Each structure stands twice: as C-alpha cells, then as structure tokens.
Amino acid sequence: MIKVQKVGRVALGAKDLSSQTAFYVDHWGLGLTEEADGRVYLRTTAAEHNAVTLVAADEAGLREIGLEVATADELERAAEELAKAGVRIEKGAGPADRPGAKRNLRLRDPDGNAVELYWGDDKVGEDYGRRNVKPLNLNHIVLRTTDVDRAYSFYKNTFGFRESDWNGHHMVFLRCNEIHHQLAFTTRDKAGLDHVAFEVNDFMEIAKGVYYLGERGVARLWGPGRHGAGNNLFSYFWDPEHNIIEYTTDIIRIKDESKWTPRVWPGRDTVDLWKQGPPRVMKE
Ligand SMILES: [Fe+2]
C-alpha cells in the first residue's frame, strides 16, 4: 500500500484567471507565490509553495487533487504498485512538472478524477502580508462520486486512507493523518468537486470571513454551523465561478488511532448540529 501523508493541494479550472486570482488573494486570504503559463499558484500560511492552483480553462471546477508522500523512494514504489494494480497513469514518476514540488506522478481514480502524487514540497516561509483572514491550510476536499463504496475502497486499498465516519451510506469521511477528514466522498449522479475547505484559527475568523465577504457581495451558501461528522464549525461560500469553498475550524484531530471508532451519522439532522439544513445544491 502507498502511504499518503497529506491531501495538500487542489487545482481548479478558471474561466477568468485574473478575477479568480483576485478573489482568492484579496477576499479569501490566500497568497500568490508564482504565476506562469496560464497557471496561478496560491498558498496558505503553511510553508508550502502552493495549496491551490488556478488553471486558465474553458470550464471551472476540479482539475486535480494532490496527495503528498513522505519520500522520493515512496513515490517510486507507488509508481510500481499502481502499474501492478492496473491504475491508469498519466505521468510517470519523475521530476515534477509544476513549481513547488521535486517529483510527481499523475493517475486517474475510478471516478475519472485526476490525482497527483508528489514529494518534496518547496517551502516558502515568509509572510505574505495582511488579509482579513488567512487560511492555515487546505483542510479537506470533498468529491462527488457515483459509487461511494468504490471510491472508499480505492482510496483505502491504494493510498491507506482510513474511514473516520459516514453520513448514512451516502458520504464517507477519510483520513490519512490526524485530521478527521482530509478527503470525503458524497454520492451524486455525477462525479466532480463538492467543495474545498480551508482551516482558520477559530470561530471569530469564520465570523470575520462572513461579514467581510458579505460586505463585498460574496453570498454565503450555508452556515455558520457545526457538522456532526468531524465536529467542525463551518461556513460555505461560492467563489465567483461557483466552486463551493469553506472556512472551517475546530475539526477533530485523531491523535490515538486505537481509540477511534467510526460511526454512522444519521445524516439529515446531523450534517448541521445547529439545525440549518444544507442548501439544495449541496444535497442534490
Ligand atoms: Fe467541508
């Protein structure tokens, strides 16, 4: 099994690269590290070169998720293991074809999502200036899947993800480190991105985000509230190209694997413990 240690990045298509960049930098609070060849690389306050890549494209939405492995050897081993398992490889293990990592490879998961495995993050430690709120990390990615059991077994058996919880039998929350879920899959008719979440320091920062974005005409989609699975506080928004993004905080960190027992949350009444049900777009 390949050992993934972090869900570290996401790439999104951008129909209007400059306005998407302005939104994520000026409104959402990310920092710009590099811009080249129709791609914009954005960071959080974590030391990594990029957590989000915006790619000039005809369509918005998910382009790729990025999973980090710990060593160059692990990446080589992953390439062999994936080939043996018959996984569709789109770029073999080798020098990274993007800024911010040393080596990578690319594959497709069973839903057809592009997945990058990478090693050797470039660190960019310096502060990137003042923002209203500055996300601490890319906390989690939720993908829509047409077959939640297939998605779960692929990520469990191939990359070592563990189940943290379920919402009914339609949504599974997966971890690869102590964060309750860095990846989750929710059942839909069509695969694709559900949302990307960014961790902030505390609830006050979620509130700051709500009013700062609201005053600038960015509609809040859901929340603030608190999820049952993961116990995280949340507020969801649409970016200008209708990708769903989330500020989150207070998510459970599972420090002792031996003490965690996954549970099945009923779903309907527990997706928001504060009892504001999800908007239609998030439960269709
Ligand atoms: Fe979320």
Q: How far apart are CA 127 and CA 119, in angstroms?
A: 23
pLDDT digits (tens, 9 = 90+) for 174-215: 999 999 999 999 999 999 999 999 999 999 999 999 999 999
Residues contacting residue 241 through CB under 8 Å, at least 6 positions apart: 12, 14, 15, 16, 20, 60
Q: Is pLDDT of 86 > 60?
A: yes
Please name the helix (run of DSSP H) or strand (run of DSSP E) that holds residue 210, with its range, or none.
helix 203-215
Query: What's the confidence (pLDDT) of residue 280?
Result: 87
Section 17-24 average pLDDT: 98
Q: How far is the CA of 41 from the centre of ligand 1 (A)?
A: 22
Q: How far apart are CA 37 and CA 6, in angstroms?
A: 27
Section 56-62 average pLDDT: 98
What domains can be seen in the chain, in order of their start residue? 4-119 (3.10.180.10), 137-273 (3.10.180.10)
Query: What's the confidence (pLDDT) of residue 186?
Result: 96
Q: How far is the CA of 140 from the centre of ligand 1 (A)?
A: 7
CB atoms within 10 A of CB 21: 17
Q: How far is the CA of 246 from the centre of ligand 1 (A)?
A: 6
pLDDT digits (tens, 9 = 90+) for 90-115: 999 999 999 999 999 999 999 999 99
Residue with tokens 């190209």: 241
Q: How far is the CA of 26 from the centre of ligand 1 (A)?
A: 22
Q: What is the 3-state secondary structure (H, E, C) of 69-117?
A: ECCHHHHHHHHHHHHHCCCCEEEEEEECCCCCCCEEEEEECCCCCEEEE
pLDDT confidence bin for 25, thresholds 50/70/90 = very high
Q: How far is the CA of 70 from the centre of ligand 1 (A)?
A: 25
Q: Write down the pTM of the prediction.
A: 0.97
What is the average pLDDT value for the chain, to the nearest integer?
96
SS3 state at 231: coil
Q: How far is the CA of 55 from the centre of ligand 1 (A)?
A: 23
